[in-house]
Chains A and B, each alone.
Chain A
Amino acid sequence: MSTAYALPKDLSRATVVNTASLIRIVALSLISGAAIASRLFAVINFESIIHEFDPWFNYRATRVLASKGFYEFWNWFDPTAWYPLGRVVGGTIYPGLMATSGVIYNVLHYFNLPVDIRNICVLLAPGFSALTAWATYMFTKELKDESAGLLAAAFIGIVPGYISRSVAGSYDNEAIAIFLLMFTFYLWIKALKAGSAFFGTCAAVFYFYMVAAWGGYAFITNMIPVHAMVLILMGRYSSRLYVAYSSWYAVGTLSSMQVPFVGFQPVRTSEHMAALGVFGLLQIIAFAQLVRSHVSSKQFNNLLFYGVIVLGVGGVGAVVGLTYAGWIAPWTGRFYSLWDTGYAKKYIPIIASVSEHQPTAWPSFFMDLQLLVFLFPAGVVLCFKELRDEHVFVIIYAIVASYFAGVMVRLMLTLTPCVCVASAIALSTLMDTYIDPVQPEADEDETAQSDAGDSVSGSSATGSISGAAPKKAKKLAAAAVAAPPSANPLAELVGAATGGPRMKKGVWGFDTRFTVLLHTFGMLAFFVMHCTYVTSSAYSSPSVVLASTSPDGSPHIIDDFREAYYWLRQNTKEDAVVMSWWDYGYQIAGMADRPTLVDNNTWNNTHIATVGKAMSSSEEVAYPILRAHDVDYVLVIFGGLLGYSGDDINKFLWMIRIAQGVWPEEVQEANYFTPGGEYRVDERASKIMKESLMYKMSYYRFTELYGANPAQDRVRQQTIPKPSPTLDYLDEAFTSENWIVRIYQVKKEDHLGRDIKSANAFEGGKKRKRGRPAVGRRRAMQ
């Protein structure tokens, strides 16, 4: 028995086991540290600030929770949002995130650690990413072994696909949801393996937490039933499956209905019907098993045949009937858009207008996953090799999540954990093969040395497959890979060194091993570099504060948003209503503390369309809308001076489309294009475009900046015609340093009852035409 390299011989089994577990603990802590540290780029490059849009609402809600307590939070009616409709916040949010921060806040304060609630919110996502790494470790351990688990933990810790939603300051539901997702899946696997009602119930408890934390819980709600269904179809029904599923479904569904926002949805909507159906099916199958143990096989077959037909027809009929009768809500539009990517653009522009609901571009897969993109299929294939119940789960997960990630950028997030797990299995199998010091026996068939070649195709330096005995080789390789997953590899290793089972094929020599491992190490090193680079450059921008570089290379911070929001906060009345496009609603509420018409909680399409109509119509049409909604200020984002492309003129078409959906007679998209069908803002822009409130507010006094030179819009690379548009019904109130945020004050009705246009003409010194007594209007005779 030869080994490729020398092994220490005098180690006791206990020493090896202890050392291995110590190394695991150290490695996991280091991985957690790395996961947290790499998410702190945002804090270091900018500051401890809440990012983007939704986190601002979550932060504001958390402050209410922390200051007023849970019951006040639950009953919180926010009169400043969706003015004047208001928002019943307690019943329309997933409170898991706020509750988590609230608990952490209260625990810290109980121990007299006066940590600011903002810092808890900012650092919650990095903290939970460490827990995600641990949950992924546990999950992967169930699939293969600890070393694969550590690799998976390391991958999920730093992979950009997950970091994109969990940098410090990205205080969103996804921050804790991915941990809950992975941990629920781990508990489900655990429950299924052992047939344990205890783990099933634990899975249900974490499922409840997930339901309370993220709307994406529907992914679990459908993944677990699909897994159970596939197992049944594979003929793998067992009492373990019955116990695990029933305990998960019953407890999980009942507890999920306690979340106010979810309510009766688990029994009323189509998205939840799969879980209910599989639950029913399992009961039927369990009953059938019971019957089978009591009647003869012939009778049973007949019974089964008719039973299946009756139940199948009855079940489908019941669901269709209930849907038709309105008891079960049909699929929602958001769901349809998952199957037909053009659906949302046609029927629900408000969903299509969100950039993260767009289909994923191919390069972003590489950007978010890098090395894992090509390790992932290998891992899935390895799952097929073993195909225990939990491997079936990973395979289904991989297929479903890959599809969804392709359909919607946002769902890249759910794919990432699965990719990490599968890649870790693949890479760990490769490393197991090449670190294993056991050499095959020299006198055996030489062609057999190509074992790892076909399972880890492409990455093996020695992979010369001769094909002389492929069947045999495969079988043996499978045997080699299929070591008991819970066994300790080091213990095996030591066992092998002291005379284990003889191998007939394997890897020869130290050099081949070294080459492959060096190459693997190189790939991993590149992966780390890529992750660090992408994290620091692409995913750590708060988007509230923008960074740019001066010509001399020094960094320059553009802080227009906060400048404008603080202006609103300090210079306007407390109940002054601010109208803006819905993207900025949460930020205005969070930073400026002013009522808004619409915000990122896009629950009322008509209200958003009203804002869209006001923005896209002329001043005369918009003014009554503004006055009816008590609007005091209108806020627009304009990037033309700086070249900030995410501005309102670029979003303008969506405003028009959404308004057109409600008022097709008054707002028509085609009117905003040039006759040639171009979307332009220069002198060729259509008349309606030039007269729209949005155009006027964006370019008001813009040409004055350039003096005699042509006024160049740097986003659209077009020249704005002179003279600048004039505003009659609005007054410019504030324009930020780089013109990104422009705020206009809505004029009150003229105090002499004139229309504002003629009042302005009078102020400007224009003479009015001589009037004549009104035609046909007869006054009372005295």
Chain B
Amino acid sequence: MRSFSLLTALVLGLSAFVRAKSSQGDDVLVILDPKLNRDDYSLFFGGLEKDGYSLTFRAPKDVKPKIIKDDVPSFSHVILFTPETKGYASDITPQSLIHLLSLSTNLLITSSPKQTLLTALSSEFSLIPAPPSSPLLSHFPARSDPPTLLPIPVPDPIDPKSEYADHPLAIPPICSPHTKAVWYEGTAWALGNNPLLFPILRAPKESFVSDASGDEGAEGVVDAAEKGGEGLWAGSSLAVAAGFQTREGARVVWVGGVEVFSDRLAAKEIAPGVPSGNTRFTRDIAAWAFQESLVLRISHISHHLASSPPLVGSNTTNLPTQYTTNDKLTYTAHISIYNPSSSTWTPHVSLPSPQMAFTMLDPHILTTLSHSPSHAGTYTTTFRAPDRHGVFKFVLDYRRKGWTWLKSEEKVAVVPPRHDGYPRFLSAAWPYYAGAVSTSVGFVLFVVVWLSGEGRETRKKAE
């Protein structure tokens, strides 16, 4: 319990701590639009550099450095601060950015109400972009700023131990708890139903998307709201920041505006005397995107007969390849979590209800792994193999939004008993045993009688 809270504190850590590098590498390419001034974002970039990232800057039209060279990505992470850029060098296309993801490079992408190349790209991630040139507006709370600059409260992450932690609509604990509201300026997306996509920051309930600079066009929004459903670009179903994790584990963060990263909004007060949460929020989403937080891995998997202890130093190369039907099997997974403050992998002790399926076409056994208190980070279960031969897989498939997708498949053959593996004597077979014995005895008796009778006859004849 104590170690858990310690871990949470480390994982979600306070931005005041000096963070260490990501679990994947620390070279970052920043593609910065020439119209944006690098110094306007010095708090954000400085924060990254202070935590050990080495940033390389490049304009969208520069030819060098290439993002992919010889099909090998040149950087571990790419930040696109190109919200309104129209033209790019030939090596940056929507296709190449998606290819970059398949090479497990992480992306932090900022967009804007303007329609650009990135708008087309966003729909590949099931983000549904708002109509062009329509920023997110809100008139609440009453303030002197224009309606396009709005404060958005950051939700507190749900405690992972609570019963809602596994709820599909729960927001993963990407942002630190008690983050102050952030100032936001930009567009918002509706989210498609892709399970890999989740909102990091939702738009406020009172906000809506409109292309009207003033309030003249508000009737259209009202009409849409009355019709309901389609065409309604309003309310908290929209997201201003969304996270996406590919099947291979590469992470993408989409933010609807670049200004949220700026020094100007970071310094702007959210309430009198209270600085905004922008600095902490942007650092948190960067930490998630760059594989610092919520990073899990399976250190190793082992399985063995429940009756025999596992081989010492067993690893995946010398695991048993076959079991017999109805054997008692023990399956163990060692799961670790990345600790960014010390750049180490530590056993993860609080994985909520991981499940293991013993599968051949369909799961034959589906069981929850329980954490063994004596070995931290070890999740184990013991079960009876089905009475069915074939090639089974131990499938551990743990998906939670925001967390690294844990997936492991171990093929193992379940074979029928050997020819001498069946029970030798069966009580049901007594009629057969009796038959065999009686026939043998009868034969012996017959031979004895026959031979003695024959002998007497010949003796008689001889006499």
Q: Which residues of A contact B (CB under 8 A)?
A: 71, 74-75, 77, 79, 83-86, 88, 90-91, 260, 575, 628-629, 749-754, 762-763, 765, 767-768, 770-782
Q: Count residues of B near A (Cβ-Cβ below 8 Å).
A: 51
Whether A77 and B247, one on each chain, are in contact in the complex, defined by CB atoms closer than 8 angstroms, is no
Whether B415 and A751, one on each chain, are in contact in the complex, defined by CB atoms closer than 8 angstroms, is no
Interface positions, chain B 283-301, Cβ under 8 Å from A, are none
Nearest CB in chain A to that of B104: its residue:
A751
How many whole Å from A154's CB to the nearest CB in chain B? Answer: 44
Q: Which residues of B contact A (CB under 8 A)?
A: 94-95, 98, 101-102, 120, 123-126, 128-129, 155, 169, 190-197, 202, 205, 229-233, 235-237, 244, 246-248, 250, 322, 360-361, 389-393, 411, 413, 415-416, 418-419
Contact of A71 among B125, B202, B419 (CB under 8 A): B419
Chain A positions within 8 Å of B120 at CB level: 767-768
Nearest CB in chain A to that of B359: its residue:
A84
Whether B391 and A762, one on each chain, are in contact in the complex, defined by CB atoms closer than 8 angstroms, is no
Whether A751 and B246, one on each chain, are in contact in the complex, defined by CB atoms closer than 8 angstroms, is yes
* SS of A interface (majority): loop
A778 to B101 Cα, complex, angstroms: 30
Whether B230 and A77, one on each chain, are in contact in the complex, defined by CB atoms closer than 8 angstroms, is no
Whether A751 and B247, one on each chain, are in contact in the complex, defined by CB atoms closer than 8 angstroms, is yes
Whether A751 and B102, one on each chain, are in contact in the complex, defined by CB atoms closer than 8 angstroms, is yes
Whether B126 and A753, one on each chain, are in contact in the complex, defined by CB atoms closer than 8 angstroms, is yes
A745 to B361 Cα, complex, angstroms: 20
Chain B positions within 8 Å of A768 at CB level: 120, 123-124
Chain B positions within 8 Å of A260 at CB level: 419
Given contacts A79-B413, A779-B237, contact A752 B98 (CB under 8 A): yes
Whether B95 and A765, one on each chain, are in contact in the complex, defined by CB atoms closer than 8 angstroms, is yes
Chain A positions within 8 Å of B196 at CB level: 752-753
Nearest CB in chain B to that of A759: its residue:
B124
Whether B360 and A84, one on each chain, are in contact in the complex, defined by CB atoms closer than 8 angstroms, is yes
Whether B235 and A781, one on each chain, are in contact in the complex, defined by CB atoms closer than 8 angstroms, is yes
Whether A752 and B231, one on each chain, are in contact in the complex, defined by CB atoms closer than 8 angstroms, is no
Chain B positions within 8 Å of A90 at CB level: 419
Nearest CB in chain B to that of A781: its residue:
B236
Apart from the given pairs A84-B391, A775-B229, 6 other A-B contacts in the complex at a CB distance below 8 Å: A79-B322, A83-B391, A749-B247, A752-B247, A770-B123, A782-B202
Nearest CB in chain B to that of A754: its residue:
B124
Whether B230 and A775, one on each chain, are in contact in the complex, defined by CB atoms closer than 8 angstroms, is yes
Contact of B195 among A753, A765, A774, A780 (CB under 8 A): A753
A466 to B101 Cα, complex, angstroms: 101
Given contacts A751-B102, A773-B231, A775-B229, contact A762 B128 (CB under 8 A): no
Q: List 12 A-B contacts (CB under 8 A).
A: A79-B411, A84-B391, A85-B391, A86-B389, A88-B416, A628-B361, A751-B101, A762-B95, A762-B98, A762-B124, A772-B230, A773-B230
Nearest CB in chain A to that of B95: its residue:
A763
Nearest CB in chain A to that of B360: its residue:
A84
Whether A782 and B413, one on each chain, are in contact in the complex, defined by CB atoms closer than 8 angstroms, is no
Chain B positions within 8 Å of A749 at CB level: 247
Chain A positions within 8 Å of B197 at CB level: 753
Whether A74 and B246, one on each chain, are in contact in the complex, defined by CB atoms closer than 8 angstroms, is no
A780 to B199 Cα, complex, angstroms: 11
A680 to B415 Cα, complex, angstroms: 45
A365 to B125 Cα, complex, angstroms: 68
Nearest CB in chain B to that of A765: its residue:
B95
Interface centre among A751, A765, A767, A772 (most CB of B within 10 A): A751
Whether B391 and A751, one on each chain, are in contact in the complex, defined by CB atoms closer than 8 angstroms, is no
Given contacts A83-B391, A754-B124, contact A778 B237 (CB under 8 A): yes
Chain A positions within 8 Å of B195 at CB level: 753
Given contacts A77-B416, A629-B361, A779-B236, contact A772 B128 (CB under 8 A): yes
Chain A positions within 8 Å of B392 at CB level: 84
Interface centre among A84, A750, A775, A781 (most CB of B within 10 A): A84
Contact of A762 among B94, B190, B231, B233 (CB under 8 A): B94
A85 to B102 Cα, complex, angstroms: 33
A86 to B324 Cα, complex, angstroms: 13
How many whole Å from B99's CB to the nearest CB in chain A? Answer: 9
Nearest CB in chain B to that of A81: its residue:
B391
Chain A positions within 8 Å of B393 at CB level: 84
A79 to B235 Cα, complex, angstroms: 55
Chain A positions within 8 Å of B194 at CB level: 752-754
Chain A positions within 8 Å of B389 at CB level: 77, 86, 88
Whether A79 and B391, one on each chain, are in contact in the complex, defined by CB atoms closer than 8 angstroms, is yes
Given contacts A88-B416, A753-B194, A779-B236, contact A773 B128 (CB under 8 A): yes
- Shortest Cβ-Cβ A-B pairs, 5 listed: A773-B190, A771-B128, A77-B415, A79-B413, A84-B391
Chain B positions within 8 Å of A575 at CB level: 411
A688 to B419 Cα, complex, angstroms: 49
Chain A positions within 8 Å of B232 at CB level: 773
A84 to B411 Cα, complex, angstroms: 10
Chain B positions within 8 Å of A763 at CB level: 95
A260 to B205 Cα, complex, angstroms: 73
How many whole Å from A780's CB to the nearest CB in chain B? Answer: 4
How many whole Å from A309's CB to the nearest CB in chain B? Answer: 30
Contact of B205 among A628, A777, A781 (CB under 8 A): A781
Contact of B193 among A88, A629, A777 (CB under 8 A): A777
A130 to B418 Cα, complex, angstroms: 38
Nearest CB in chain A to that of B125: its residue:
A752
Chain B positions within 8 Å of A773 at CB level: 128, 190, 229-233, 237
